[in-house]
Amino acid sequence: MSKPSKTKRSDSESIKQDPKKSKNDVSSLAAASKVKEFCKNFMDIEDKEVESRTGESDLKIFKETCCELKRLMTDILLLKTSGKTDEETSKKIIEKRIEASLLFVTLKKLNRIDKLRLKKARDTTHDAKQRVDTFHLQLENLLYEVFHLKKEVDKCLEFKSKDEDIELVPVEEFYQEAPSSISKMELTKSNQHKLTLARLEWEFEQRKRLSEQCRSLEQNREKASSEISQKQKQLESLLPRLTSILESTRPLQEELNLPVERIKFQKELAVLLPDPLYILYSQIKAFIEACDPSLQISIEGGMEDAINFGSKNKTGLDEILEDVDSAESDMETEYETNKRAATSNKMKTDWQLTRHPLRIQLKIERVVLNFTYLTTLNIVTVDCKPVQQDDGVNQICMIDNLLSGLFPNDHGDESPSWVNCFQARSMINGKITEQGKPYLWAQRLAGLDFNGIVKSTPQSFINTEFVETVILALKSRITYRFQFVKVLHLLEKGELDLNQDSNATFPPTIYSRLVSWTSSTYEECLVTSKNLERLLNFLEVNPKSLSFYKATLERESAKLLAMFMVPVDYPNSTPICSLELNWNGKHNRENSEIIRRIEAEVNVPSTELPPQHKVDLLTVQLKKLSLHLDLITEIDGQLMKKGGGSWQSQSKPEFAAEKMIPQLIKGHDRAYPTKYDTGSGFFLHH
């Protein structure tokens, strides 16, 4: 490539030289082109000349020419120096000169050729150099490539495949487990690489499977954990809500005496109980756990109070009062404050009734018993109240006298201790309802033994049988009382419904009806009926262990008024009634043997009712009364006809004889029949 350009340049040089020549040889355009052509030819020739000749030969020519010239010059010089100014010499000189000038042409030619040659050599060199450069470059490239490849090779050689780190299953196992599509036994047996590949593939399959499994498990786990966290969150959110609910239900709990939150406090509170209450608590608690989980026992009262109380308990009365005052200011809730204030007032006025702030609450079925310890008097009092419920049951009936006479002559009216019977008198006068009553059984449960005259301290002696006796007595008392309240409810409606067995002992139709059944009081009953007092005096019963009721039975104009005294342990004891018949005059036990007989018939326990219907005893009694009212009104009419004496003064008896009575009157006491013979339907005498 560079070669032609060189040639051009040489051409242009030659062209440059040409205008000089053409200037020198001013000629026409045609001549110029001729010259140009000529020059070209000439240059071509010269080029050929240069090629055909060598430098050395030219150098020899040049030296010869120079020598020639030198000789010529020297000849000229010699000629000139010879002083010969002759024509010959001058001619010689001129000749010599021409000769020398001709030599110059040769020199010039040589010069030109030389120059051409130089140029040519230079070009050649350049070309060569150029070629060399290219080669060099090529070489360099190749070298680099080689180096790079070497590096790559090194890299490749140094490459660590990851499969080396992978722990593959042993070959034997692989062959055993992998499917033949992967293992390709024939192929891989010989080829280690293929074997590895196959093993890797198997590994890959395995891992893919496992990872799938892992992923699903992970997903499950994820799900579970999210669920857990969600639930956790819910639970966490539940706690404050629950606490708030608990907080808000606390008054309700207190109201209902639910032991939801209290159980954990019980043990701590138990430590703070005074000894008698602790004995009582532990005994009953043990009994409940061992024998009867239907009962509930708990300790009521503030822990702080108990601690405060306990610390000052042994000091004097004044300190107790101070303590109360100070404790009052500490109170947190309004309710507590009120309660406490009331207590403190009571304490101030009646310090004998100082009671321990803790009390024991025993829940038996629907009744709550509170055991309180009066520290000054050293006695335990019990009071009871019904668990609130709205089923129309008369709550007062339920708890009235409930605990009275649980054991014979134990009405809780007197202090069980000889020592403080004078102190306790104030308690008996009025305060008793607020404080509960000091029943003897409660003292005994609390380990307080007042049999001796000396005030005794709580004894560790525990009579387990006694706990059972008390609890059973309480339970049966409460159960029966509840049934009794139901019976009362029915009686208030005037219903005398009985179970079949009991009903069978009565004739199918009884005309007399229970028209009213009302609760009454001892005082009211005394006013109404004097006979009652005689009966009570005879029986030597404490009116406090009785409930009083007024029943009215009617058959047309005949009115039978019955004062019923229901004992506290009904139906284990029979209710007692006192009768008054208002029918053609007033008839009662005092003035009529007939009425007395009916009273006896009703009051004297006869046949035992089966245990499940025991509570119907009162209804049976009332039914008996209604039957007897029927009987006496009818018999009286029959006697009137017979001339046997009658209360009725009119000519015709008020009631027709419907009942089958073989003999109206029997015996010296002229008794009426009282027995109904279910088989024959006859009314017979005893």
Smallest distance from another protein to CB 652, Å? 15
DSSP H helical ranges for 55-159: 55-81, 87, 93-158
Among 313, 293, 298, smallest CA distance to 267 is for 298
- Quick check: 333 binds another protein (CB under 8 A)? no
Does residue 685 bind another protein (CB under 8 A)? yes
Cα 297 to Cα 263: distance, rounded to the nearest angstrom: 10
Q: Does 650 bind another protein (CB under 8 A)?
A: no
What is the sign of the dihedral through the CA atoms of 286, 289, 293 and 298? positive
372, 436 in Cβ contact below 8 A? yes
Please, what is the minimum distance in Å from the beta carbon of residue 475 to another protein?
A: 23
Count how many Cα atoms sit within 13 Å of the Cα of residue 260 in the half-sphere of its side chain.
15
Binders of another protein among residues 498 to 527 (CB under 8 A) are none
Asked if residue 589 binds another protein (CB under 8 A), the reply is yes
C-alpha 315, offset from chain centre? 48
CA–CA–CA angle 110, 114, 120 (5° rounding):
145
Q: Does 193 bind another protein (CB under 8 A)?
A: no
Stretch that binds another protein, among 92-100, 249-257, 598-606, 619-627 (CB under 8 A): 598-606
Coil/strand/helix, residue 566: strand
Instruction: Write the single-letter amino acid at 375.
Output: T
Q: Which helix (H) or strand (E) holds 462?
A: none
- What is the Cα–Cα distance from 633 to 584, expressed in whole angstroms? 11
Of 4 and 667, nearer to another protein (C-beta) is 667
- Residue 78 binds to another protein (criterion: CB under 8 A): no
Residue 177 CB neighbours (<10 A): 12
Q: Kindly provide the b/e burial profile for residues 184-217, where b requires at least 16 CB atoms within 10 angstroms of the residue's own CB.
A: beeebeeeeeebbbbbbebbeeeeeeeeeeeeee
Residue 474: CB atoms within 10 A of its CB come to 22
Calpha distance 510→628 (Å, rounded) = 9
Interaction of residue 600 with another protein, rule CB under 8 A: yes
Q: Applying CB under 8 A, which of residues 170, 452, 610, 645 lies at the interface with another protein?
A: 645
Q: Which of 170, 251, 610, 644 lies at the binding interface for another protein (CB under 8 A)?
A: 644
Closest CA relative to residue 175, chosen from 200, 203, 204, 199: 199
Residue 652 touches another protein, criterion: CB under 8 A: no
Q: Does 593 bind another protein (CB under 8 A)?
A: yes
d(Cα 555, Cα 635) in Å, to the nearest integer? 14
668 near another protein (CB under 8 A): yes
Tokens of 95: 């000749």
Q: Which is nearer to another protein, 290 or 600 (CB)?
A: 600
Q: Closer CB to another protein, residue 198 or residue 595?
A: 595
The region of 420-428, 478-486, 514-522, 639-647 touching another protein under the rule CB under 8 A is 639-647
Question: Which two three-digit tokens encode residue 259?
Answer: 């032991």
Q: Which is nearer to another protein, 40 or 685 (CB)?
A: 685
Taking the complex as a whole, the smallest distance from the CB of residue 608 to another protein amounts, in Å, to 15
Which helix (H) or strand (E) covers residue 355, if one does?
A: strand 355-364
Q: List CB contacts of 3: < 8 A, sequence separation 6 or more.
A: 123, 127
Q: Which span (209-217, 323-331, 445-453, 645-653) binds another protein, by CB under 8 A?
A: 645-653
Contact call for residue 603 and another protein (CB under 8 A): yes
Which C-beta is closer to another protein: that of 352 or that of 638? Answer: 638
| Among the listed residues 599, 616, 630, 634, the single contact to another protein using CB under 8 A | 599
**Segment contacting another protein by CB under 8 A, of 137-145, 276-284, 308-316, 662-670:** 662-670
Gap between the Cα atoms of 615 and 481, Å rounded:
9
The answer to whether the beta carbons of residues 506 and 537 sit under 8 Å apart is: no
Our finding on whether 595 is near another protein (CB under 8 A) is: no
Binding string to another protein for residues 540 to 569, with x set by CB under 8 A, is what? xx----------------------------
Whole-angstrom CA distances from 598 to 100, 282, 548, 577, 601 are: 201, 50, 19, 10, 5
CB of 316 or CB of 679, closer to another protein: 679
Q: Is residue 682 involved in binding another protein (CB under 8 A)?
A: yes
Question: Applying CB under 8 A, which part among 113-121, 144-152, 282-290, 643-651 lies near another protein?
Answer: 643-651
- Contact region for another protein (CB under 8 A) — 234-242, 294-302, 424-432, 536-544? 536-544
83 binds another protein (CB under 8 A): no
Handedness of CA 274, 280, 284, 287 (dihedral sign): positive
Distance, CA of 4 to CA of 246 (rounded, Å): 112
Nearer to another protein, 470 or 661 (CB): 661
Beta strands in 556-613 (DSSP E): 558-567, 576-582, 586-588
Please report whether residue 643 would count as binding another protein according to CB under 8 A.
Answer: yes
Which residues in 403-422 contact another protein (CB under 8 A)?
408
How many residues bind to another protein according to rule CB under 8 A?
A: 40
Least distance (Å) between residue 639 CB and another protein: 7
CB of 293 or CB of 643, closer to another protein: 643
Of 90-98, 214-222, 451-459, 667-675, which segment contacts another protein by CB under 8 A? 667-675
Binding another protein (rule: CB under 8 A), the pick from 506, 574, 613, 614 is 574
Identify which of 528, 557, 531 has the alpha carbon closest to the alpha carbon of residue 647.
557
Residue 21 sits in the site that holds another protein (CB under 8 A):
no
- Of the two residues 452 and 681, which places its CB atom closer to another protein in the complex? 681
Six token digits for residue 219: 């997903």
Alpha-carbon distance 516 to 534, whole Å? 25
Binding residue for another protein, selected from 539, 556, 610, 656, defined by CB under 8 A: 539
For another protein, the closer CB: 240 or 662: 662
* Shortest distance, position 490 Cβ to another protein, whole Å: 25
CB 449 within 8 A of CB 456: yes
Q: Examine residue 666 and tell whether it contacts another protein (CB under 8 A).
A: yes
* Closer residue to another protein (CB): 227 or 590: 590
- 420 or 648, CB closer to another protein? 648
Of residues 152 and 669, the one with the C-beta less far from another protein: 669
Q: Please say which residue, 501 or 590, places its beta carbon nearer to another protein.
A: 590
Q: In the structure encoding, which two tokens stand for residue 112, read together?
A: 């030109």
Task: List the structure tokens of 22.
Answer: 């053409």
Query: Helix, strand or coil for residue 533?
Result: helix
Q: Is 680 in the site for another protein (CB under 8 A)?
A: yes
Which amino acid is it at 92?
K
When binding is defined by CB under 8 A, the residue of 590, 656, 657, 658 that contacts another protein is: 590
Alpha helix locations (H) across 159-191? 171-177, 180-183, 185-190
- Cβ-contact 437, 382 below 8 angstroms: yes
Which residues fall within 8 angstroms of residue 477, CB to CB, at 6 or more apart?
A: 402, 403, 406, 568, 569
Q: Is 334 in the site for another protein (CB under 8 A)?
A: no
Could you tell me the smallest distance in angstroms from the CB atom of residue 575 to another protein?
Answer: 10
* Near another protein by CB under 8 A: residue from 649, 650, 651, 652: 649
646 near another protein, rule: CB under 8 A: yes
- Residue 677 in contact with another protein, rule: CB under 8 A: yes
Residues at the contact surface with another protein, assessed by CB under 8 A: 408, 535, 538-541, 574, 576, 589-591, 593, 596, 599-600, 603-605, 639, 643-647, 649, 662-663, 665-671, 677, 680, 682, 684-686
